[in-house]
């Protein structure tokens, strides 16, 4: 009897150690699924160890420019930050009662690779509660921008909503008594502004990188610009870093896009203006001798250059420095005050841009002061 009791006691003592030893080799998903609110220290280690292989593989694929999330490796501090991000994101999913399968594929891949922290997972869950945001999160581009800034849609509405009024006011400020005489120029400027306002918010907006690694066959220039952030001044998340050249590359890349947008918008605006002038000439014979068509090619190219340089720099500074680095840290817990501050700053920036465009157009000679 004593021997049997001793054998039973010894087997009971061995049972927990065997069970715990086998738990170390469970997959991360099962470990998270059964994770308790206060996990034992060894269970936390089991979350990070299986992540090393995909992390190193993903980082090796980006190297000098795949994702642009790391400066070139995946080891050292970047590797530690990636493992920490992955653990935080998986714990956030556990708190929300969700699994990786419930996330979009690109977001789930970013979680597995350790590119996003738990805060982004919580923000995604909050945005999904709104029918409008849940619909927009299905589209690439919107998802990356909304996860980086939950006020992105409000900023688009601000920019486009006040654009017409502020640009018209700026035109009046610069032209004054010549406002009516130069009404064709005013219409062209406002029409160009409406088309371009959306892109001026879209392109420089900070984003969360969810893009997969670029193919190995891509050229070095394509890899470099692919690794650049969307905003040259945006705050890099933990586990993500951008070099000085990558941030300069963001300005160059967005500038080329804005040149194309500005040129295209100008073609539309000038085309509308010339159509209005010709219609008025047909109705008013006196107006026919006063008005002349707005030059299409020179105006379009000039506006493209203006957007690539002036608008590009102003909006990147606005979104990356003033809003993300100054206003958001100060007013993070006061959304109403933050929205009001962004509205005021963006209104002032739009008005300033309109003033600068009139001066620039006169400087390069595409618009002349009429006596």
Residues 133, 201 within the same domain: no
What total number of domains does the chain contain? 2
Last residue of a domain, one of 138, 167, 192: 138
Q: What is the number of other CB atoms lying within 10 angstroms of the CB of residue 142?
A: 17
Domain carrying residue 38: 29-138
Residue 355 lies in a domain: yes
Three-state DSSP class for residue 272: helix
Last residue of a domain, one of 138, 173, 205: 138
Residue 353 CA to residue 364 CA, distance in Å, equals 16
Q: Count how many residues are written for the chain.
A: 371
CB-based contact 237:84 (threshold 8 Å): no
Last residue of a domain, one of 106, 138, 170: 138
**Verdict on whether the full-model pTM lies above 0.85:** no
Give 177's pLDDT tier (boundaries 50, 70, 90): confident
Choice among 58-62, 72-76, 180-184, 334-338 with the minimum mean pLDDT? 58-62
Q: Could you report the per-residue pLDDT of 238-294, keeping only the tens digit for each?
A: 778 899 999 999 999 999 999 999 898 888 877 877 787 787 777 777 665 555 667
């Amino acid at each position: 009897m004593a021997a049997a009791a001793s054998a039973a006691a010894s087997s009971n003592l061995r049972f927990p150690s065997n069970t715990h030893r086998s738990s170390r080799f469970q997959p991360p998903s099962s470990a998270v699924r059964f994770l308790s609110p206060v996990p034992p220290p060894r269970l936390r280690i089991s979350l990070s160890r299986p992540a090393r292989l995909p992390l190193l593989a993903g980082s090796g694929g980006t190297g000098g420019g795949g994702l642009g999330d790391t400066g070139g490796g995946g080891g050292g501090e970047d590797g530690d930050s990636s493992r920490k991000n992955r653990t935080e994101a998986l714990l956030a999913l556990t708190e929300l009662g969700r699994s990786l399968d419930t996330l979009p594929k690109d977001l789930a891949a970013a979680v597995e690779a350790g590119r996003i922290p738990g805060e982004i997972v919580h923000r995604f869950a909050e945005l999904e509660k709104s029918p409008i945001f849940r619909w927009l999160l299905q589209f690439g581009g919107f998802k990356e921008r909304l996860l980086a800034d939950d006020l992105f849609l409000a900023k688009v509405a601000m920019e486009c909503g006040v654009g017409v009024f502020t640009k018209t006011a700026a035109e009046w400020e610069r032209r004054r008594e010549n406002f009516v005489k130069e009404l064709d120029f005013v219409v062209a400027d406002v029409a160009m502004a409406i088309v371009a306002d959306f892109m001026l918010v879209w392109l420089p907006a900070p984003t969360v990188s969810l893009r997969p690694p670029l193919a190995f066959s891509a050229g070095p220039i394509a890899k470099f610009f692919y690794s650049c952030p969307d905003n040259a001044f945006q705050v890099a998340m933990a586990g993500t870093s951008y070099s000085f050249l990558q941030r300069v590359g963001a300005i160059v890349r967005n500038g080329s896009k804005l040149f194309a947008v500005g040129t295209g918008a100008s073609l539309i605006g000038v085309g509308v203006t010339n159509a209005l002038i010709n219609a008025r000439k047909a109705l008013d014979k006196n107006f026919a001798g006063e008005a002349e068509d707005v030059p299409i090619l020179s105006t379009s190219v000039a506006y493209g250059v203006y957007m690539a340089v002036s608008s590009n720099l102003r909006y990147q500074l606005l979104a990356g420095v003033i809003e993300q680095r100054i206003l958001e840290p100060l007013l993070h817990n006061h959304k109403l005050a933050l929205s009001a501050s962004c509205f005021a700053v963006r209104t002032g920036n739009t008005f300033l841009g309109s003033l600068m465009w009139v001066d620039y157009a006169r400087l390069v000679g595409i618009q002349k002061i009429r006596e």
